[in-house]
Amino acid sequence: ALKHLRHLKHEMLVFHVLDPDEKRLPVDGPGVLVDAETGEEFEVDALSAGGYRRAAERWIEWLGRECRRHLIDYQQLGTDTPFDRALLRYLHKRERLG
């Protein structure tokens, strides 16, 4: 879908907003996680959390590469950073680059 919009000469920007826990998945021992979107429950332990972290990092890297490959600006933002601050930082960076 992003490739199609870029092909139509739209300027594209992806703000990928992640909660830091989505990347870290802090798990000390066995437990159950609930998907906030679907309500599906997942049993986790330290081993499965490690696998999740590696898979999440690979997916985030892939998304960034795909965006760059299609000349789409990709910015990763954390929910722990106020959006207005992140947006201003991005706009200043863009202004410096011309």
pTM over 0.85, yes/no: no
> Where in the sequence is the domain holding 70, given as residue range(s)?
2-91
Q: Which of 63, 86, 88, 81 is nearest to 19 (CA)?
A: 81
CB of 51 closer than 8 Å to CB of 69: no
Domain membership of residue 97 (yes or no) is no
Q: Are strands 73-78 and 31-34 parallel, antiparallel or unpaired?
A: unpaired
Residue-wise DSSP of 28-63: SSSEEEE-TTT--EEEE-HHHHHHHHHHHHHHHHHH
Q: How many domains does the chain have?
A: 1
Nearest to 22 by CA among 84, 76, 90: 76
- For residue 26, being part of any structural domain is answered with yes
Q: What does the pLDDT look like over 21-80, one tens digit per residue?
A: 888 888 888 989 888 889 999 999 988 888 989 999 999 999 999 999 988 899 999 999
